[in-house]
Amino acid sequence: MKIAIVCYPTFGGSGVVATELGLELARRGHEIHFITYSQPVRLALLNPNVHYHEVIVPEYPLFHFQPYELALSSKLVDMVKLHKIEVLHVHYAIPHAYAGYMAKQMLKDEGIDIPMVTTLHGTDITLVGNHPFYKPAVTFSINKSDYVTSVSQSLKDDTLKLFSIKNEIQVIPNFIELDKSKNDPTIPCRRSVMANDNERIITHISNFRKVKRIPDIIKIFYKIQKEIPAKLMMVGDGPEKEKAEKMCRKFGIQDKVIFFGNSNEIDRILCLTDLFLLPSETESFGLAALEAMACGVPVISSNSGGLPEVNLDGVSGYLSDVGEINEMAKNALKILKEDSVLAEFKKNALHVAESFDIKNILPIYEALYLKAINKYKTFV
């Protein structure tokens, strides 16, 4: 199949998922065309089946904000015609599904019918999309898509609750490449670099926005380290980082907390980790939790959004209501205090992650693409 993938090229979850999906599809012999405004951060162009087409938005003094949607829809039309693309897969309702629909209409005028699959990821629905300024456009874009998927049942439920949706929404969860998550045997997992032998290592990875409840992480760790020797690794950057650093100094634990900033060595960091903290206000899926579990790291998380679909309570970790800091700390200590208990949770976390392996998820997308293409062929 010839598939165009439209996504954001940044570090965000939707861009990572879209890129990894495209790369795996290419490895399976499909011709993949990424269409966005810059090369996705995880995109390697070493596969002859992978192509990247940059959307260039000309700057005109007339426009206060440059019209990316117009440039994207025009680029889609050109690439579909040039490469005979068979299906569009757009990640994020706006602006991508909106631009995709406009491209479909322009192509239709030239006698070309092409199906569009739209994948909903989270903030395009619960935050940006639900804003009164954008809600009509989001509703329109979803309803005009040929097929719609969401990354969790929770996100599907939110979409149906917030918007007047006529389309069916199929839940296809996010995924992990377990082969990539396995530690390279040639690179030793040297815990001694970060902690003493008797110390547990706890990790959090995010963009440090308010929704991640960064102060809760510091408070949970403060309670943990009073009971057992421990270190906290904070990976990422964002508006809440400075506040977290001040809290560590206030609690007198600054020597036990390491702030890494953004890192491209997530797997190596998770290799050292005993427990992952994700007490977010909400998560449409919880990809960071899944990445930790794929490295055999149990998770302490909130029970909001799609997290209960990823982190199984009492199996791969524990779930608590948002803000239940004391309970989260107690559950963390249940896992960390005994080596045998920690080993069991690590094994369970990896086992749960295996069900989200890309090898299990990718055939679902392939079947959906074929269904969409064959549906349109019947109209010819």
CB-CB neighbours of 341 under 10 Å? 13
In whole angstroms, give the CA distance from residue 212 to residue 55.
Answer: 32
Average pLDDT value for residue range 6-16? 76
Q: Quick check: 44 pLDDT over 80?
A: no
- Read off the pLDDT of residues 264-295 as tens digits, 9 standing for 90 and up: 788 889 999 999 999 999 998 999 999 999 99
pLDDT for residue 128: 61
Q: Quick check: 379 pLDDT over 90?
A: no
Q: Quick check: 377 pLDDT over 90?
A: no
Lowest mean pLDDT among 100-109, 116-125, 145-154, 247-256: 116-125
In whole angstroms, give the CA distance from residue 196 to residue 217.
Answer: 21
Closest CA to 291 of 187, 360, 203: 203
Closest CA to 335 of 320, 354, 315: 315
pLDDT for residue 226: 96
Beta sheet of 257-261, edge-to-edge order: 257-261, 230-235, 200-205, 275-278, 299-302, 317-320
Residue 10 CB contacts under 8 Å (≥ 6 apart), including other chains: 41
Q: Quick check: 331 pLDDT over 90?
A: yes
pLDDT for residue 380: 43
Lowest mean pLDDT among 41-45, 94-98, 111-115, 175-179: 41-45
Mean pLDDT of the chain: 90
Choose between 380 and 271: higher pLDDT: 271
- Read off the pLDDT of residues 121-163 as tens digits, 9 standing for 90 and up: 887 676 665 667 778 888 999 999 999 999 999 999 999 998 8
Q: Quick check: 91 pLDDT over 80?
A: yes
- Read off the pLDDT of residues 186-203 as tens digits, 9 standing for 90 and up: 566 777 778 888 999 999
With cut-offs at 50, 70 and 90, classify the pLDDT of residue 179: confident
